[in-house]
Every structure is written in structure tokens, then in C-alpha cells.
Structure 1
């Protein structure tokens, strides 16, 4: 009898799940779907003090102790914020004090300060278990200043002749000069080229990493990068390559034919830092930079949007220089990164508004004992990107822009997301008509819970100072009283029926 009662109790659940919800399966994951956390291994978290060696936390120019095991221990921290991929600073063995990864002395070994290759493989495996991808920086332009190849008579032609850049506009000069005094590799030499390509393949097959961020792209010839991309993708077809070209949109676009999948959006970064460092700044330059960057590069929303890298002062410093609250400024900036076309790439410490000027001041140790507000905000933005494909794949149209206030929409199939940004110190009112948005619907706020219903074929949005709201354009919600009455009546009758069945079963039990 108990089994019979249990079966009856399951009927409402079965009926509920039998109702078609019309939810489509997620499309295959691409680079555009990623939310990326970029970190310096040495400055993130020290998970194993046994490999510290000469690390000195009091010396900002020396190794400080961060390692692979520390990152592994913090994967859940990153996963919980919604990050789907991590970019690591170069993992290759470096010379003394080469914590930043630029002074490579062995392309086939991990740096001893970070841990063993076994520990790195564990990091990759644990990330994959959490459906997170691992991307590492690949330094193909130079080696460390004291590399053994420099004194090897059989490898003299592995390097370009030592010289500084004499003409920034001369591409050959850029590709052959010693940047920052570091020995410049000659990729035109077949042995050098083969060595780098073989090393790139080896790390993929040996550790199953998912991508390379390519440093100093403009300092290496395009034909090498073309070979490089073809080589790594022959090992793993869905392997990511992200180019770091520090230049304008035209320069970045010139590397598109190399096959590199995406590029760091440096032209947009200049305007982003200037605009979001303080309120009451015109947003028009930001959108102009986006349009030009997209038009020239034809990237279709694949560029990496960022506020900070390890090579520049922190955005927090820019906000502090304006005597602004860094947390508020970061919320505005992150709202842009997460809702505009492009892939958000967030540098470690941004979630705690880590401050810092030029290197090594911008490479401070990560502090995990801080307030939760920014972490929660990032988490919410990540949830929205994951929930609504329009935020990752949708077309963008600017609907309104005046002073520091803007509204744009992202459209993908039948889904429309509307983003309102108020980068001013005053509450703003914006009216959108049926020319911008379909009439007789409502805007449901997903960040702050705002609700705007269409009235007289228009939408009146009121948005608080220095805030962003992300809306879904949805059918008007209607309270269907007759429907609710019928559902309630059915549940009451069903409850009475169950009670009678239980009462009857008790009567029939032997005394």
C-alpha cells in the first residue's frame, strides 16, 4: 500500500516534467563562450612552500612563491566566479628573478619555483574536471639574457644581431631588434624555427593544454606565426591561439591572415581605462573604438576585452588617481567587458581591486582575505553570460548614447538582451520607442531587479547613478487568476484524495 501511495504522490511531478519547456540544447562551446581569468603564477597563491627556493616575498622583483599547486587549490574559487578558462604567465624554466616568464632558459622544463611537470599536469587535469580550459603564454621572440645558446658556437645563427630598435615604423627593425635587451631569436633559421614549433607541439601532447597566448606577436615575422598556428592546430584542432599585438586596429588586423584565432583588444583598452576611471565621462569614444576595431579586424566579437595586463599599471590606480571608489569603477568596467561583443579577460586581483603602478608594482601578491562585493558582482555577470547566448554571440546595436549614459541591445535569434549603463553621478531617465524595441513587452532587470513595461509603445528606463542594468526583453507577465484557481483546486482535490487513500489503508491494516 505504501508503494501505491508513493506512486500516486509522484503523479504531479511527472506531469510537471512532461510539460515541454522549449529549451534548446546549448550550442557547441567556442572561444566566444569563454570567461577568462589571467594570472601570474608566481603572484597568485603559494600552495607548496617546499619549492620556494630563493623566493622572497619582500622583494617585488624576485620570485614570491606562487606555484601550480596553489592554482590547483584555488580552481574552485575561480570556477565559482564563473571563469571557464585560465591564462597562465609563461611556465617555462626562467633565469634568476625571471618571475614574469620573459627570461626563458629551457622551453622543455617547468620553472622549479612553480613545481614539476607532474604537478602542472595535475593542474590541467583538475581544471578539465571542472570544465575549465588552460591556456599558457608562449614566448617565441626571445630567451633570457644569459641563455647557454649565446655561448654555443653552433647556435650563433639562432639569434639576430644585437641591436636596439631604431625605427618603430620599420617592421623589419621590430622583428630583428633585441627588445628590452633580450636576445632576439631568428625564426628564419630552420633549426630555431623547428625547435620552437616542436616545443609548442610537445606541451600540447604532453600536458593536454587548450591554448597559447602569443606574446610580442608584432616582433616576430608573420610567416612564422602562420606555421605556428598550423602546427599547434594539427595537434589539437580546437586549440586556441590569442595574439598579443600592442598596436592600433590596423596593425592588429594585419596579423589576421596568420590564422591566430583572436587578439587582445588594445585599441579598445585605451578608451576603456580613460572612460571608466571616473564618472561623468562620455561613453561615445568607447563605442567608437569598438566599431572601428570590429570593422577593421572583422573579428565578429572574438577579441579579448580587458582592463589590465601584467605590462601596464592597474585600472585601480587610474580610479584612485581620480579619487574614485575603485569598487564602483570596477563594476562599471566589468559590466562593459561582460556584456559587449568580445571575450572578457580579467587579470588576477581585479576582483579585489588590487592596486599598482608599472611593473613590478602591478604584480603584487593576491590577497584572498577581502570583501566579497566585487566577487559576487563578477559571479552574477558570469551567470548572465552563461544563461543568455545573446551576450556571447548576439549582434550589438547602440540604441542610446548621451554623455555618460548608454543603452545597447544584443540580439541572437529570438533572444534580445538590453544593457543600460549610467556612468554619471546623477540618476538618468531614458525613453526608448518601438523603433528601438518591440512594443507591448517588458524589460526584466537581471542585475538589480528593475521592471520596465511598454506603455504607449515606449519604454521609460530610470537608472541609478554609476550602475548598470541588464534586461531581458520578454512578453508581459500577466497574473492569470482563473488558471491559478483551477491549479489550486486540483491540488486541493488531489490532497483530499491522498488523505482518503492513507486513511483507508490504515483501516485495512490488521490489528
Structure 2
């Protein structure tokens, strides 16, 4: 019997390797990446913005490693992905072992530390498949010291009286920022402007990105944006975020050129409130003043952290203490676009190194759950839309306006009411507001009545859906 089975299997193996059978050709896949719909004001109005620090996001620090987690990021409600600079980094006069992302040595190349051009294109394609738009961090004010323009086209840079190329000057003091690893570009040179413009066009055409975040936008002449943004938007609709505000050079006239800018003042104020230096009244006044000065067309990005804040000023825990989740909730529910910085969803508890490799543990906890819930609210409730057609904002007065920030957002019959105790104290209060709502976290009924006295714990917040 054993000999019979041995003979049978020998014949079977021989038949599988028979020369008379042609090798099968691999099937050609007809799969194509489904094009993402062009970005619109309506999409922007419901968007959550995620800032990705590719180097530090994973142990590998690569496009491919980051792309693997895009489905997780999608669940946070993220619709726009901002990638910190992906260009090669200058090694001349660089800071630390790896240098700064913002010391660009070539505007049309990929930092090999992160992967290849194809890896980047794959990341963009995967994001688009998930309905996420991708914008690149663009550094138009300066380059690294080994950019080929330094030796080939030195007139592209600002120089001192000795004819030496200089690093950037702080407009407020007239002195160096101390950014000695970069050389300041000369916008009086129109050939330089054109090369920079063509580089920006290259990334949109070659990799199908959906816009830019403009670093230090206030340091560039406004007429450069007029021509450049017109050329870019002739290719496809884009989202342009600018690092500036009305208190920087250019003011509201510059702000109007972009889709979104930063609420730096609101960020610093929120930290002051968290640290007991300011109160709920101060915060409400800021919201009202911002809506008045910026108008509804200009979207402000609300944040508790970003790459600068985390590395140089401290973690969310250091800056906000127990108020961290409260201000995350306000960032999502007040007018504006909420920003999540790499690792914030994992309770990032460290200041990430800026000039060398770092990473963080990915342990899902309360912040991940909170951001998922807030992201869903932002994506799906018209009351929380921002921009020219966004939901209204109206403060609800309470008997403790100094500690309780209560407000109503409404649009087209969709109403959301938010109450937040912006203090470290237990607070009792009344509020002349009536209605039946559902709690956002579990959809249980919550009734508000002018006859009730409410009690809120320190930094407690309620988000109620009509």
C-alpha cells in the first residue's frame, strides 16, 4: 500500500511540472484608483485637519508606515491631511543629526529618509481612496544652505552690506530670528519667484496633491500669491492654509487670499484659561471679536497642539493640564477648523525632537475615543460647519458667565448646544434655556430648563444634539 501511494504522488508531482503545460500568465488587473471629487467649500466647512510629522509618526519614519495608519486617521473625521515638509533637508549649517524639515535643499525632490517619489504618490492615492485630501507644507521664505541656488544663483537671496547671504530677519525686531540653518530668499528677484512658482505647480501636476500649507506666509509679498494661486487653481480646486493672522504683516488683505489661517491668539488664550489666568468671559469675547474682524468667509484653525507647540512649548498635558479634553471639544464645536497633531490622538506625552529621530507609543485611550466622536460630529452636523455658510454662534448666558461658556450652534434646523466649565472649580449655575436634547457620547436624553440648577465638575463639558 505504501508503494502504491508513493507511486501515485510521484506521478502527481511530475504532472504538475510537465513541460507540456504552459506557465500561467499573471492576470492583468483592471483596478484603478477612484478619483476623489474636487475639494469644495462645503467639504472644507466640515473638515478636520491632521498634521502629519512623517519622521516621528512611526519607528520607520516613512511614507509607507504612515500610509498603513490612514484608516485609523480617517476615523478621527479627518478630511484634510497636512504633511510637514517632505523635501530633502540641507546638511550645511544644519541643526542636530537630521536637521530641520524647514531647511529645504531642493523644492522638487523627496527626502529619501521618508521614501521615494512613488511611495509618496502611493500615499496620496491611498488617502484619496479614503476621501482624504493631501496638502504639502511649503517653505517659500528661505532654503537650506546647500540648495543649488546658493552657489549657482546667489542673487536669489538677501545679502548684507558685505554681499554675504543672510538668514531670515524678524520683522518685529529687525534682528535675526536665529534660524541660522536657512538662507533668506530675495523676492525682488522675479526669476526666483518664477522658479518657486513652477516648483509648486510641479507637485500638483505630478503627484495630484490638493493644496499647500504656506510656512511663514506673511513674509512673502502679496503679489506673489496673486499670480501663484491663480496658476495653481487653474489646474484643480485646492485648499490653501497659511501660517499667518491679522496681527502679522498683510493683515486681513493677506488673509483673504487663503482658505484658512491660524487662530494663534485663541490658542494662547486657551492656555491662559486652562492655567487660571483668564476666564470664560475672556474666551467668549475672543470668539466674538474674531468673527467680527475676520468675517465668516475666513476660516481659522483651532488647535491645542502643532509641531512648534509640541517641540518648543510643551505637550498638551503641560500646557492644558486637566483642561486638555475640554479645549479639544471647543476646537471642534466653535466656529473654525479643528487641527489634530501627530500623536495627539494617542495622548502624546512627550515633546518630540525636532532635529533628530523620535517616535511615540500608539496606545489607544480616552483621547482617541473623544476625537473619533468629535470628528463624527464635525463631519455630520450642519450646525458645526464653518466658513461663509457655516452654522451660527450665539452665547447662552448663565448665572456664572465667568466660569461657564455656554453657546448654541445652528443651521437649517440642526442645533447643537455646548456647555463647558472653564475653571478648576465645581460650579453651580442656572441658565434661561429650555429644550430636550441628546448627549453626544451616548445619545441619552438631556433636558435643559430655565427652572433647573446645574452642577458641573471642573473642566466638565456637555455637547447636546437637538
Say if 1:141 and 1:315 are closer, same or farther in 2 by CA, change over 3 A.
closer
| 1:378 is aligned to 2:371 | yes
Q: Counterpart in 1 of 2:47?
A: 34
Contact persistence 2:45–2:337 (CA under 8 A): yes
- Cα drift, residue 214 of structure 1: 0.1
Provide the rounded CA distance (Å) in 2 between the counterparts of 1:454 and 1:178.
52
Give yes or no for contact 1:42–1:99 (8 Å, CA) kept in 2: no
5+ unaligned residues in a row in structure 2: which ranges?
A: 1-39, 92-96, 160-164
Give the aligned partner of residue 501 of structure 1.
none
Q: Name the Cα RMSD after superposition.
A: 3.0
Aligned residue pair count: 410
Match of 2:369, SS state, is helix
Which residue number in structure 2 is paired with residue 476 of structure 1? none
Aligned partners of 1:163 and 1:178 also within 8 Å: no
CA distance in 2, matches of 1:279, 1:272: 10
State yes or no: 1:308 paired with 2:321: no
Three-state SS of the structure 1 residue aligned to 2:394 is strand
In structure 2, the partner of 1:291 is 288
Query: Is the 1:41–1:67 Cα contact (8 Å) retained in structure 2?
Result: yes
Q: Which of 326, 329, 337 lines up with 1:335 in the alignment?
A: 329
Instruction: Using the TM superposition, give the Cα deviation of residue 397 of structure 1 relative to its aligned residue in structure 2, in angstroms.
Output: 0.9
- 1:36-61 CA-partner distances (Å, limit 9, x unpaired): 11021111124xxxxxxxxxxxxxxx
SS in 1 for 2:115: coil
In structure 2, the residue matched to 1:466 is 459
Quick check: which one's helix share is greater? 1
Q: Which residue of 1 aligns with 2:243?
A: 244
Contact residue 217 and residue 243 of structure 2 kept, 8 A: yes
The match for 1:390 among 378, 383, 388 is 383
Is this contact kept in 1: 2:50–2:342, CA < 8 A?
yes
Per-residue deviation, 1:358 = 8.7
| Matched residue, 2:29 | none
Residue aligning to 2:158: 160
Query: C-alpha distance in 2, partners of 1:178/1:234?
Result: 36
Structure-1 separation of matches of 2:311 and 2:285: 23
Paired residue for 1:418?
Answer: 417
Gaps of 5+ in 1: 1-26, 47-64, 474-511
The match for 1:93 among 75, 88, 91 is 88
Q: Measured at CA, do residues 412 and 430 of structure 1 come closer, stay the same or move farther in structure 2, by a change above 3 Å?
A: farther
CA deviation vs aligned residue, 1:202-261 (integer Å, no higher than 9, x gap): 10011111110000112211111222221211111x20111102673786424124x211
SS class of match (2:42): coil
Match of 1:234 in 2: 234
Q: 2: CA distance between counterparts of 1:249 and 1:430?
A: 40
Q: Distance in 1 between matches of 2:352 and 2:446?
A: 44
Deviation at 1:282, TM superposition (A): 1.2
Query: Deviation of residue 330 (structure 1)?
Result: 2.1
Equivalent residues of 1:453, 1:459 under 8 A apart: no
Q: What TM-score do you get using the length of structure 1 for normalisation?
A: 0.73
Q: CA deviation at 1:71?
A: 1.3
Question: Per-residue CA shift, 1:340-364, capped at 9, x if unaligned?
Answer: 0000011112123324459639984
In structure 1, which of residues 341, 366, 371 is the aligned counterpart of residue 360 of structure 2?
366
- Aligned match of 2:11: none
TM-score by structure 2 length?
A: 0.79
